[in-house]
Structure formats: structure tokens, C-alpha cells
Amino acid sequence: MNTLTTVASAFVYNMLEGARAKGFDVSRVLLDSGISPQALGQERSRVTFDQLARLKLSLIKLLGDEYIGLLETPQPSGAFKLCCYCAINAETIGESLRLFAQFANLQKSGLVHEVSVGGGASRYGVRRRPAALVRNNYVIEYILLTVHRMHCWMANKRLALVGVNLDFARPEYASEYRYVFYGAPVKFDASDSSIMFRDDDLALPNTRTIDELKAFLLSTPITLLHETIDSHDMSARVRRRLQQELVTNYRLPDFNSSAAYFRLHPQTLRRRLKRDGTSFKQIKLEVRRDLAINLINSGEHSVEEIADRLDYSEPAAFIRAFKNWLGMTPLAYRKLHE
């Protein structure tokens, strides 16, 4: 996720469940994180990356638990930091994965962390203990995301995931996993939850030093929600270019000019985007939608100015698009945040 990405509000609801169970006023936590409880209640609501990151930090501080109240045993603030200081001594990515699993299993959290190597797809898995309290699936998703992105950073390379297994039913927001797991194929209703790496990647060296780790940890968990290593996937490259053109020049390149920019035949670009599970039209929609939400939340621009910045021919076209995205007009959305 880059800083302009938005995510479905279902993630926020799941993040809040631990605080709700402990009797905290989640409306107050949302407001402190810049999220309108009224907007969150809308059927198609979304939150920005910055809002999600602030909420995560607020919940950790409120609950004193890096698992934000979603597992039976809290993970005290600083536990992830200690795990990273242990793993930074690993020589290879595979060795670091094993250290991560060993450290996690010391906490008796209700989850069993496992690493298996070989067979073409090495695996980092998370299995629920029988009768263990796991309030919802967000904590499973976040653990796997954290393990993957931390090791991408350590290898200084995007580690391609061969696949992702999740031990729960396909949720309504399953399309969001394209960003969570960098486009890897996701299987639901699996026997456990796991991410699968290429065997060769586990032999890659840990390229980071302890001084680099100190800098990296200064802004966690924000750095983990963000993409720790720039993606070279075609869909991510197209998204970055469209976003940059909108932010800088208020224009949205068309498909053919984008293919020319990447020195690809249009059919080749279309095929590569399809392989990433998306299309140019879908990326264009998401870039406009996410930037629109960020601009409205800032409160610095009129609807007319935003329409112009998003390369719409007229404000009415932007208003119609926004209603299709979120089920309300831009002004109605803005009022929910006032």
C-alpha cells in the first residue's frame, strides 16, 4: 500500500473488535485517528492509509498490546522490536523466518507459528490452537503481512509469494488482498494460514544492519503497512505512473500512451495486467477513487478543484463517479468528516 491507497472499512471494524470487547469507546479512538464513525457506517466506506496507520498506533497505545486485543495473550508493546533485534543477526532469510517463528511461539498467544522448507515452495504458517481465542481474522492477515514485508525489507528485494492460504471463508472484501499480499494467489478455507516463498529465496542473505533496523523501527507499524520495497509488478508500476501524473500534472494518461511509456505493445500490457489480476480500467478507477478520498479528507479543495485535479471534463462527471464508488456525493462525504 502506498500513502494514497485506501482500504475497505471492513479492516477497521475487525481492528476495533478487541477494544470493543474491553469496553473502550471506539468512537473516540476513531475520531482521534481522523476517521468519522458516521462515514465508517456507510456501506461502501473506505479509509486512507494514513487513517489506518494512525488507528493501529492508537489501538496499540490504548490496549498496550501489539495484537490490539485480538488474541488471548497480549503482545506487549516492544515485543516486535525485540523479535527484529533477534532476527537481524540471521545470515539468511530462511534463518530469520525460523527466528521469527520461535520468538512468536514463546508468547503462547493461541497461535502456533511454523516454518517448513523444500518441495518448491517454502512456507511460513500460522495455526490456531484448539479452543484458542482469536477474535477475528485481521490478526492472522496482519501477522502474515508483517512477516512477508519485514523479510522483503531484510532481503532488499520483493520476495514473490508462490501462494497464500487462509483458514477462513472468502470475505466480501477479498479483492483487497491483491494489495495486502502483492497479487499472490489466495486460497480460502485452507487447513491453516500460510504464505509460501520460493525455496531459493530463503537462501538469500539478510542485507540489513542493526543501524538500518533502528531507523526502520522508528515508524513501525506504519512502515509495515506501507510497501517496504517498491514493487516491479506491472500493475504497481502502472498505478505509480497514473498516480504521479494526476498528483503532478492533473492528467490521466490513456492506455496506449501508457503502453508506449513502458515500451510495450498494448496487447502485451493488457496481458501482463491480467496476469496481475487487474486491468488498466480498474487501476485508473482505483487511483482516481483513492486520490479523491484523500483530497476530500484534506478539506483544502472544492469539489470543482478536485474534479479538475482528477482529470474529469466537468464536476458532474466526478460527482457521478464518486457516488458509484462510495454511495454518496463528495459533499455528503465531506460533511460526515466535519
Q: Is the pLDDT of residue 7 over 70?
A: yes
Convert the pLDDT of each residue in 239-263 to its tens digit: 999 999 999 999 999 999 999 999 9
pLDDT for position 226: 67
- The conformation of residue 176, written as its DSSP 8-state character, comes to G
C-alpha cell at 130: 484448539
**Strands 121-128 and 193-198, how do they pair?**
antiparallel
The per-residue pLDDT for range 141-193, each reduced to its tens digit, is: 999 999 999 999 999 988 989 999 999 999 988 988 888 888 889 999 999 99
Is residue 228 over pLDDT 60? no
**CA–CA distance, 17 with 65 (Å, rounded to integer):** 13
pLDDT value of residue 300 = 87
Q: Please determine, for residue 307, whether its predicted confidence score (pLDDT) is greater than 70.
A: yes
158 Cβ contact partners less than 8 Å away, ≥ 6 residues apart:
152, 182, 229, 230, 231, 232, 233
Q: Model confidence over 92-136: pLDDT tens digits? A: 999 999 999 999 999 888 999 999 998 888 999 999 999 899 999
Tell me the domain boundaries of the chain: 6-73, 79-223, 234-336
State the architecture of 234-336 in CATH terms. Answer: Orthogonal Bundle (1.10)
Higher pLDDT: 179 or 25? It is 25
What's the CA gap between 285 and 37, in Å, rounded? 25
Helices and strands (H and E) in the chain: how many? 17, 7
Whole-model pTM: value is: 0.86
